[in-house]
Amino acid sequence: MPRVQYTDSDVALMARMMRAEAEGEGRLGMLMVGNVIVNRRKANCLDFEGLRTIPQVIFQVQGGNYSFEAVQKGNVFYNRARSVEKRLAKQTLDYWREHPSKFALWYFNPYAPCPPTWYDQPFSGQFKQHCYYEPKANTCESAYRW
C-alpha cells in the first residue's frame, strides 16, 4: 500500500520537482526532496494543513510565493520528467523514507553551515548542500506516522 494515493501525473510532477530541486545531489538527494513532498502531503498540520494532493503541495503558495524555489524560478522544473526521476518519485510515494528527511517538512540550501533551527523547527540533518528540518515535538504528530 503506498504512503499516499497518487496518479501517473502526480508521479511525473513530483519527478520534475525532485530533479529541479536536487539533481546536483544525485539520486539520494532527489529521494530526500521527494520524501519532504510526501511528508507535507501526509502532515495535515502547521503550514501544510488541508493539502490533499501532490499538485496542492507542489503549487502551494505561502506569503505570496510558491513554497518551492524551483516553481518560483522555473529552472528545470518545466522540463519533462525522465524515467529515472519517475522511478525515484514512485519510490518515495510508495515506501521510501530515510534520515535526515524521514520526518522532515522543510529543507533548504543555506550556502553556509546549517542553522540549528529553521523558522523555529529543529534541524534533523544534512545531505550534501540541503539542510532538513522536522516539526517540533507535539506540533505535528501526523508527520511522525508512517
- Strand-pair category, 106-108 with 65-66: unpaired
What is the per-residue pLDDT across 70-122, written as a single tens digit (0 to 9) for each? 898 876 677 888 999 999 999 999 999 999 999 999 999 999 999 999 999 99
User: Residue 33: which CATH number?
Assistant: 1.10.10.2520
User: What is the structure's pLDDT at 76?
Assistant: 61
Task: Judge whether 81 and 16 are in contact, CB under 8 Å.
Answer: yes
Q: How many domains does the chain have?
A: 1
Over residues 139-144, the mean pLDDT reads 89
First and final CA of the chain: distance in angstroms?
11
Task: Judge whether 23 and 76 are in contact, CB under 8 Å.
Answer: yes
Q: Which of 19-23, 76-80, 129-133 has the lowest mean pLDDT?
A: 76-80
Q: Please tell me the pTM assigned to this model.
A: 0.94
25 Cα distance to chain centroid? 14
Domain annotation covers residue 17 = yes
Domain annotation covers residue 1 = no
Over residues 27-51, the mean pLDDT reads 96
What is the per-residue pLDDT across 58-68, written as a single tens digit (0 to 9) for each? 999 998 999 99
Q: Which residues pair with 123 in a beta bridge?
A: 133
User: What is the structure's pLDDT at 3?
Assistant: 93
User: What is the structure's pLDDT at 142?
Assistant: 87
Domain annotation covers residue 2 = no
105: containing domain: 8-144
